[in-house]
A and B are shown apart, each in its own frame.
Chain A
Amino acid sequence: MPVIQETELRLERRFDPRPCRHFLNGEVYVLHCHHYATLYSQLADDCGMLDGRKLLAEVAEDTFFDELGNYYDKHGVTDTADRIALAEQYYAVTGLGQMHVRCAGPAGAEVELSHSHVDEGWIKKWGQRDKPVNFITQGYIAGALAAIFGRPRRSYVVVETESLVKGDERSRFQAVSM
């Protein structure tokens, strides 16, 4: 039986009045609304110029791999359960939604969302759709798993199998190690 440890995400917020920028744990952070996130997701989905879904997921993977990995290093977080708890909390703090990692190991994971900025924002803006659209979370999960298990980027393929945007009770993602 795995031991679940609770770890609280430490946030250091700072506003630098000279450039007028906001920092969260030393990184520049910006606020954006669901119109922005859903239009970026729509752009990625409709993009005929290249594989926009992959591009958006990879940007998310790279960004959150760095954010979580740096946090684990800085605070000396080595326990898998702690790392997962922090990844879930970070997801919520950013406003991306409520994430629950059902199970995880170096070979893969099952992840669920009971709330999602992208899905609920999409529904608020356009209504339901019949295909998943949360490429940002696909990337988030891939980056988080790589950081949690000390693997390099692009170690996990993540597929969204159920979606809030489709009317499912929750979003569900299956991740498998490459």
Chain B
Amino acid sequence: MAINRGEVIGAMSKVQAIGNAEGLIPAYNVFVTQLPGKFWNGFAERLTRSVDQDSLEAAEWLLVNAAQECGYHTGYGIITSDEWKAVVAPQIQNQAEDTLHGAFAVFTAWGWAKSEIVELVAGEKMVVRAYDYYESDGVTYGQASRPSAYMIRGVCAAFMDLAYGGEYDPTGQTGLRTFQCQQTKGIECGDEYGEFVVTRTAG
């Protein structure tokens, strides 16, 4: 890996989202919000704990899907941004793999999850570990029976879509959802870290 994670995190963590005169934050080809983590956690938590068991997987899929679309479009905006070109791009030697490592350094720097790739099979599989993430904050006592880092699941899959899913498609019709992600460990479940396994979508 050619990416200097510490350097990327140090530089990219200083990037601040500033609202314009219209109260909007246009950046990376999208509109951005900066909201309390507990807002996003609150919706996911209340939704998944309110639906019946038969609907739980569908609800979880919808939460993951929201993150996968977000990660795909915003991720593309990030890896084509001036900040990326200034900080990360000069370190890239192997395009797909180093882009992925750089993307997770940015993912870490912006406070989504302190995460890194621990296994990567080019074009096929990626395993990510997250040592701290806001989605685990919902559990402040005991251990959850199911993992709940839906945002990280979606974004991990989206980053593989961007790396190996073909040319970026702004409509999301192609390229998106070529990969899927399962969470195999979670801090919210009592594990030391969250673990996310990304593989190609079947069919």
Chain B residue with minimal CB distance to A51?
A: B50
Instruction: Select one of A19, A37, A67, A92 contacting B132, CB under 8 A.
Output: A19
Asked if B110 CB lies within 8 Å of chain A CBs, one says yes
Give the interface segment out of B14-22, B139-147, B160-168, B178-186.
B14-22
If the complex has contacts A29-B37, A31-B34, A120-B31, are A95 and B17 also in contact, measured as CB distance less than 8 A?
A: yes
Asked if B25 CB lies within 8 Å of chain A CBs, one says yes
Query: Could you list which residues of chain A lie within 8 angstroms of chain B, going by C-beta atoms?
Result: 13, 15, 17, 19-22, 24, 27-37, 39-40, 43-44, 47, 49-50, 52, 55-56, 58-60, 62-63, 67, 91-99, 114-115, 117, 120-121, 124
Contact A31 B132 (CB under 8 A): no
State which residues 43-90 of B face A: CB under 8 Å.
43, 46-47, 50-52, 55, 58-59, 62-63, 65-67, 69-70, 73-74, 77
State which residues 106-149 of B face A: CB under 8 Å.
108-114, 132, 134, 137
Max chain B C-beta neighbours (<10 A), residue from A29, A30, A39:
A30
Contact A32 B19 (CB under 8 A): no
Give the total of B residues in contact with A, Cβ under 8 Å.
53
Contact B111 A99 (CB under 8 A): no
B58 neighbours in A (Cβ, 8 Å): 49
Contact A35 B111 (CB under 8 A): no
- Rounded to whole angstroms, the CA-CA distance of A102 and B21 in the bound complex is 19
- Rounded to whole angstroms, the CA-CA distance of A33 and B25 in the bound complex is 9
Query: Could you list which residues of chain B lie within 8 angstroms of chain A, going by C-beta atoms?
Result: 9, 13-14, 16-17, 19, 21-25, 28, 30-40, 42-43, 46-47, 50-52, 55, 58-59, 62-63, 65-67, 69-70, 73-74, 77, 108-114, 132, 134, 137
Nearest-neighbour CB distance to chain B for A106, whole angstroms, equals 26
A13 neighbours in B (Cβ, 8 Å): 16
Contact A24 B30 (CB under 8 A): no
Contact A60 B39 (CB under 8 A): yes
